[in-house]
Amino acid sequence: MSDIYQFSRGTAPLLISIPHLGSMIPDAQRAQMTPLGLQSGDTDWHLDTLYQFAEALGASVIGARYSRYVVDLNRPPNDESLYPGQTKTGLCPAQTFRGDALYRNEAVLTEAEREHRLQAYWKPYHAKLCEEIDRIKAEHGTVLLWEAHSIASVLPRLFEGKLPDLNIGTADGAACAPDILATVEERLRENTAYTWAVNGRFKGGYITRHYGKPADNVHAIQLEMCQSTYMDETHPYAYRPDLADKIIPLVEGMVQSALKQTGARRA
């Protein structure tokens, strides 16, 4: 067992990654943070609960234990911007998504500290991700990597207005074969309850872009959900079964359809 991530191995060619699930903050870092920073407010709360259907699908599941305020596992190790020209949320953030300070003094984020976090937290998660992708591909010949994310529905610092409820990203088609993405879009078109977009504001983060290689039979899809679809978006960020129970069948249907089409391509 790792204290960096939680992991369960499945039997299907499906790996669900939840890199922003964690909310733990090391004691040494906690001592430097603001009260607001200690809330780890930009966590992708409760996605392990929302994706409980994964076990029945035979999925392998990996989820971070530590907060993205420690290090963002879905950012490049060199911290380059994923969306040039837009507000950047970096590898070791100093502000919340709303622009509030995470530290009483940002000077604590030295190059040495950033490198420590990269080595101690970022690299172990990605090493396990690579290991499981390789294992699944060796066993099944193909992999569906589903990147599970959620975010507050309104964040003026990062985007205008309210986000669509469900945001699919495949790096503008570079991370996933079009026929697999088409099955996901079909499920979205069938739904009448939620708004959605494909490769809109969210095109997939580093994990989707780096590991999604359709030519090598690794297909990556990111789903960025508005947290308003399944939880309270304000502290203490409570899970809302009355909301979640309505959207879970749609999320499960998208994953299931993509998995079926991934397997069909190798049949």
Q: Is 105 exposed, middle or buried (0-12, 13-18, 19+ CB in 10 A)?
A: exposed
For the chain, what percent of residues have pLDDT higher than 70? 99
Whether pLDDT at 61 is above 70: yes
114 contacts: CB under 8 Å, gap ≥ 6: 79, 91, 92
Question: What rounded mean pLDDT belongs to the chain?
Answer: 97
Q: Which tens digits make up the pLDDT trace of 137-148?
A: 999 999 999 999
Contact 158, 87 (CB under 8 A): yes
Q: Write out the two tokens for 160.
A: 């205008």
**CATH architecture of the domain formed by 5-18+45-65+109-265:** 3-Layer(aba) Sandwich (3.40)
Q: Can you tell me the mean pLDDT for 27-41?
A: 97
**Phi, psi values for residue 192, rounded to 5°:** -120, 0
Q: Can you tell me the mean pLDDT for 149-171?
A: 97
Local confidence band at 261 (pLDDT 50, 70, 90 cut-offs): very high
Cα separation, 79 vs 83, whole angstroms: 12
Contact 67, 40 (CB under 8 A): yes
What are residue 226's DSSP bridge partners? 151
Contact 231, 243 (CB under 8 A): yes
Local confidence band at 267 (pLDDT 50, 70, 90 cut-offs): low
Contact 62, 15 (CB under 8 A): yes
pTM for this predicted structure: 0.97
pLDDT at residue 259 in the model:
98
Q: Which tens digits make up the pLDDT trace of 220-234?
A: 999 999 999 999 999
Q: Write out the two tokens for 174.
A: 């570079």
Q: Is 190 exposed, middle or buried (0-12, 13-18, 19+ CB in 10 A)?
A: exposed
